[in-house]
Chain A
Amino acid sequence: MTINAEFAKGLWEHNPVLRQLLGMCPVLAVTTSAMNGVGMGLATTFVLTCASLMISLLRKLIPGQVRIASFIVVIATFVTIVDLTMKAKFPEMSQSLGAFIPLIVVNCVILGRAEAFASKNNPGRAVVDALGMGLGFTASLTTLGSIRELLGNGTLFGVQVMPNQFVPWIVMILPAGAFLTLGLMLGAYNKFNHRREEAALRTARLAAAAKGV
C-alpha cells in the first residue's frame, strides 16, 4: 500500500468511528459541541501519533510477553502530557472535556492501532497511519458535534447560526441525541459505500461484457 493510501484509509475506508466503531465512549459523550469534537479529536490524534511512533521504534526491543503492558505505559505517558498541556495552555477546553482527556488512555483506537499496525510496521508508516486514523476520528467527532450543537443549541462553534425563531432540540445535547445522530451518520456512511460498491460492480460487469463481445 502506498503512503498516500495508508494515510487516506483512516479518513474514510477504515474510519475508526464510522467503519471500525472504536472509541465510542468519547464519541458519544463529549460531542455536545463542535469545538469539543475538535479538541477531543486533536488530543487523541496527538496521543495516537506519538504512541505509534514510540511503539514502532521500540517494536524489536519489546518482548511479546510484556508488549501490552509496555504499550499502555507509553500511551498513558502521552495522555498525561496532553492532559497537563491542556490544563496549562487551554484551561477552558480542558475543563470542558473533563474526565475524557485522561480516559484517552483506554480509547481502543490507540491500543488497537499500536497492536495491529505500529508494532508491525516501520516508524514512517506507523506515523502516517496514526495521522490518518487520528484525523478521521477528529473529522467524525467534529461532524457529530456540529450536528448536535446546531440542532441542540442553534449555534456552530459557538456562533449563532439558526434564526431566533428556532426552538433548540434539547434532546440533541442529551445522550439520546448522540445515539440518534451517530446512527443516522452510520446509516448514511453505509448507504454511500453500498452505492459506490454497486456502481463499481456494474462498471466491472459492463467492462467484462464489452470484452466478451
Chain B
Amino acid sequence: MKTTLHMLVTLVAVGMFSGGSLSLVNDWADPLIQANQARARDEAIGFLVPGGDAEQLVDRDGLVAWRITANGEVKGWVLRHAGIGFQDKIDLMIALDPERRHVCGLRVLADSETPGLGTWIRLRAEHERALAGSADRDLGPEVDDSKNYPLQFFAWGGGRHLSAAGDLKVVKGRPRSELGPGEVQAITAATISSQAVVDIVNAAVLKLDALLAAQGGTL
C-alpha cells in the first residue's frame, strides 16, 4: 500500500511539474508562433501574387481565399488549404490567375514531411529568389529537371501552366517536356508527398468553385 501510494504521488508530482512548465512556456511562445505564422502567410501572398492588395473573401470549410487587386484590376487569387501528407498536415498557399484557369504558384507554409525526401515539395531558396525577380514567373527549360517539383506549379519552359480545374494528377517516369497541363511529375523518393500536394491543390480549387457557384458566381 505504501509503495503504491509512493508511486502514485511520484507520477502525479512529475505530471504536475510537466503540465505547469508546459503551460508557462506555451503562454510565452504562443503569441510569437502566431505572429510568425501571420508573417509567413503575408509573405507568401506577396511572393505568389506580387504588387497587389489582398482582400480575404473566403474563410470556410478549411479554405481561405484572397483576391489580389491592383488599380481596380484583379491580378490573381491566393488560396490556403491543408491536407494530410506522409505523416501530418501539409499547409499550402496556391496562386491562381485572375480567371482561375491556371495554377500560377505554390508555397508550403508548414509540413512535417521527412527531411531530405518529402521536403522536396518546398521551393528551394535559390529558385524562390529567381522567381521573385522574374516578371513572367518562368525560369525556362534549363531548370527543367526532376528535383524542381514545386517549380511545376509556376510557369515553366515557355509559359506553360498547370490546370486549375481540379484535374491535376501525379505521373511517374516521363520527362517534363511530355507532360500535359493536368499532369505533375512526381518527386523521386517522395511520391506520397507529391500526391498529397496535388490532392490539396485539386481540393482547394474545387472547393472555391463550389463556393462561388453556390453564391451565383459572386462573393
Contact = CB atoms under 8 A, between A and B. Distances in A.
Interface of A: 29-30, 32, 36, 58, 61-63, 65-66, 69-70, 73-74, 76-77, 80-81, 84-85, 87-89, 91, 95-100, 170, 173-175, 178
Interface string B113-153: 11111010000000000000000000000000001000000
B34 to A, nearest CB: 10
A63 B25 CA distance: 28
Interface string B10-28: 1100110110011001101
Nearest to A32: B116
Interface residues of B, number: 32
Given A88-B32, A100-B115, A61 B22 contact: no
State the majority secondary structure of interface residues on B.
helix
A59 to B, nearest CB: 12
Nearest to A58: B14
A73 B117 contact: no
Contact of B112 (A66, A74, A77, A98): A98
B64 to A, nearest CB: 20
Contact of B115 (A32, A74, A76, A80): A32
Given A29-B116, A99-B112, A87 B36 contact: yes
B40 interface: yes
Given A77-B17, A170-B147, A66 B7 contact: yes
Contacts of B32: 88-89
A99 B21 contact: no
Given A80-B22, A174-B189, 18 more contacts: A29-B114, A29-B116, A32-B115, A61-B10, A62-B10, A66-B10, A70-B10, A73-B18, A80-B25, A81-B21, A81-B22, A84-B25, A88-B29, A88-B36, A95-B110, A98-B112, A98-B119, A174-B116
Contacts, number: 86
B42 interface: no
A173 B33 CA distance: 30
Contacts of A81: 21-22, 25
A69 B11 contact: yes
Interface of B: 3, 6-7, 10-11, 14-15, 17-18, 21-22, 25-26, 28-29, 32-33, 36, 40, 87-88, 110-117, 119, 147, 189
Contacts of B87: 99
B115 A84 contact: no
A98 B114 contact: yes
A96 B7 contact: no
A163 B112 CA distance: 33
B65 to A, nearest CB: 24
B40 to A, nearest CB: 7
Nearest to B8: A66
A30 B113 CA distance: 11
A81 B114 CA distance: 22
B18 A77 contact: yes
26 contacts: A29-B114, A30-B115, A32-B115, A32-B116, A62-B10, A63-B7, A73-B11, A73-B18, A77-B18, A80-B22, A80-B25, A81-B22, A84-B33, A85-B29, A87-B29, A88-B32, A91-B33, A95-B110, A97-B115, A98-B114, A99-B112, A170-B147, A173-B116, A175-B116, A175-B117, A178-B116
B135 to A, nearest CB: 26
A88 B14 contact: no
Instruction: Give the interface centre of B3, B36, B111 by most chain A CB atoms within 10 Å.
Output: B36
Contacts of B115: 29-30, 32, 36, 96-98, 100
A65 B3 contact: yes
B6 A91 contact: no
A99 B88 contact: yes
A188 to B, nearest CB: 23
A62 B21 CA distance: 19
A63 B117 CA distance: 43
A63 to B, nearest CB: 5
